[in-house]
Amino acid sequence: MITVRKLLALFGMTLVLGSWSHAALAADRAAQLAALHAADDAWVVAYNAGRVEPIVRLYDRDAVVFAPGLRPLRGRAAIRAYLTKDDAEFVRNGLVYVLDGKRDGAVSGRLGWVSGNYLVKDKTGRIVDRGWYFSVSRLEHGQWRYVRDTWNSDPTGAAH
């Protein structure tokens, strides 16, 4: 027969294990969110350097990009074609894309999202555009890949 002492011990062990697994899950989510932000940072570094292929590899093969003023870009080939033209013009004009540090995001299982603000600066450091971005990513084989990505200029010029 189970005694009160055994029940209390079992309950205590359950609480300890539950709090440990909750802490481990929270730490894993924080690490995964940091990995999502690292992917955004890698996107920016490659874009500013005019390197399209590293950017394309950050997207899922069936990803959809909702670029301002365009029909949705479906799949890596369409994303590559868009970025090849867009990034070459961006670099040729001496512009620099910067994430402003006010980022948000969350992870749940194999899905995650991030959002934040960006700035575009010219050669003199003057801000020529600012806006927001939002993406949804999926974790596959240890790598976060964008499945949906969008951004847009802020017509008021105000940061979010």
**pLDDT, tens digit, for every residue of 20-59?**
444 444 558 899 999 999 999 999 999 999 999 999 999 9
CATH number of the domain encompassing residue 137: 3.10.450.50
Within-domain flag for 158: no
**Mean of per-residue pLDDT scores for the chain:** 87
**pLDDT, tens digit, for every residue of 17-26?**
554 444 444 5
> What pLDDT, on a 0 to 100 scale, did the predictor assign at position 102?
83
Within-domain flag for 45: yes
> What pLDDT, on a 0 to 100 scale, did the predictor assign at position 10?
60
Query: Residue 77 belongs to what domain range?
Result: 4-153
Task: Name the residue with higher pLDDT: 19 or 144.
Answer: 144
Residues 6+ apart with CB under 8 A from 46: 52, 54, 55
Q: What is the mean pLDDT of residues 116-139?
A: 95
Within-domain flag for 159: no
> What pLDDT, on a 0 to 100 scale, did the predictor assign at position 20?
46
Cα separation of 12 and 92, whole Å?
Answer: 64
Report the half-sphere exposure of 73 (CA within 13 A, side-chain side): 23
User: For 109, which DSSP code?
Assistant: T
In which band, very low, low, confident or very high, does the pLDDT at 160 lie, cut at 50, 70 and 90?
very low
Please give the tally of structural domains in the chain: 1
Say yes or no to pLDDT of 6 above 60.
yes
Q: What is the mean pLDDT of residues 73-80?
A: 98
Within-domain flag for 137: yes
Within-domain flag for 125: yes
> What pLDDT, on a 0 to 100 scale, did the predictor assign at position 42?
97
Q: What is the mean pLDDT of residues 102-117?
A: 94
Q: What is the mean pLDDT of residues 85-107?
A: 93
